[in-house]
Structure 1
Amino acid sequence: MTLAPLSPTARTTVNRGRNRAVEDRTALHALLDDALVAHLGVDVGDHPVVLPVAFAVDLDGPDEGGTLYVHGSVAARWLNRSGATTVCVTVTEVDGLVAARSAFHHSMNYRSAVIVGVARIVTDADEKAHALALTVDHMVPGRSATLRPSTRKELAATSVLAVPLHDASLKVRAEGPVDDVEDVEAGTWGGVIPIRRVADTPVTGDDASGPVPADVVSRAARLGRVARAMA
């Protein structure tokens, strides 16, 4: 299947720093798979709010381009105000600190996505349960299959918001400092401090029993350090 290119509309077309714009939609999918936190911007009536949220993605979801899900309490004003309105979701990963020869040229290496779309509150029970399972699995892949099903009370207390992935843009910087020639010739050091996310060894809860499950060990290993199972 051929995927539509990114930045399909004017509202997600990159204008500033267009040389860093990425059109390959699979790069967006890779960022969403890697990132753990998104920021959701909504208008709650008397003021805008931008909130950090856990999220999940279903590339085969019912919305155009796939579906991004976020969840929250049914009592959350930001979520209840988001249904049938245009929202903005951003996801950013910092991959390095770029130390240049001048303050003006200091920068960061990053991958940054902007997704704009009309959100909908998920009302179908099966889709809602699926979205919540995906959210758990985005944190720890495979974990939802090891847990008891959510109770009716838990599902009733939780709202899920779906945002189409169609209208999105992606910018990436992955290079060293870009300095003026005279600053380079002056001999001042320039370079990059690489940044990566590293998980430590899983810590068993005081009231837990048995070894750390394989899904948790695997997730910790994927995040940068081979975890050793703890009793």
Structure 2
Amino acid sequence: MPKFGDMKRIAIFICCTIISIAFSACAQNNMLQEGLALKYLVREPRTHAGKPPVAILMHGYGSNEADLFELAQFFPDDFLVISVRAPYPQGPTGFQWFEKDRSKQKYTPIKAQVEDSRDLLLKFIPQVVSWHHADAANIYVMGFSQGAIMSYEVGLTSPATIKGIGILSGGLPTGLEKEIKPSPTLSRLRIFIAHGTADNILSYQDGKDGYDQLVKLGLKPELHTYTGMAHTITSQVVADLVKWLKS
């Protein structure tokens, strides 16, 4: 029979092993994943009941995949959460989905770069589904600022691929409404829009105009207005987004 000292050492060993495994899992989640169309960080589902739904997070201008990844802790436990890096470098550690058209006064993306980023995302999404054994019928794309614009671009042009989009302080890309083709799959697209009234980068009116355009197209977006909020994401925005995701 093991002595008390031996049992104590065994207990310490088991405890240390559990901590080591937990640390390794955490570190793995925070390691940049490569090999697919885009680089990304991943939070694996905390609970497993079949193929997981997927939330793909897209950062704003000049940021990177680590920016929105901290939101993963608030997402439902059954979700696979992917925080993806934009393809175009912007500064030493930043990236962007597209450049702005400097010839236009209004915030107008360079269309060719938007389309290139959209095509990369549409290539990336099925790769993620296959690699992580996720639910292809339960994909949400959501983003902040430029990432929100890309969420519009991906979701509205390929609604058969996407279940829902989350628009955080973003606007509908100029002219996109003319490219949208009404269909039964488009009409089922879930849309969450969050915008602050004090946003000085993409104005509240930009967000509201996008909402109005979608309503005219027969869609049913959900608009959340945040009085006094600037170009940012608050805890209330995250709470409302997660509540919508669960509904």
TM-score (norm 2): 0.22
The structure with the largest strand share of the pair is 1
The one of the two structures with greater contact order (alpha-carbon pairs below 8 A, sep at least 6) is: 1
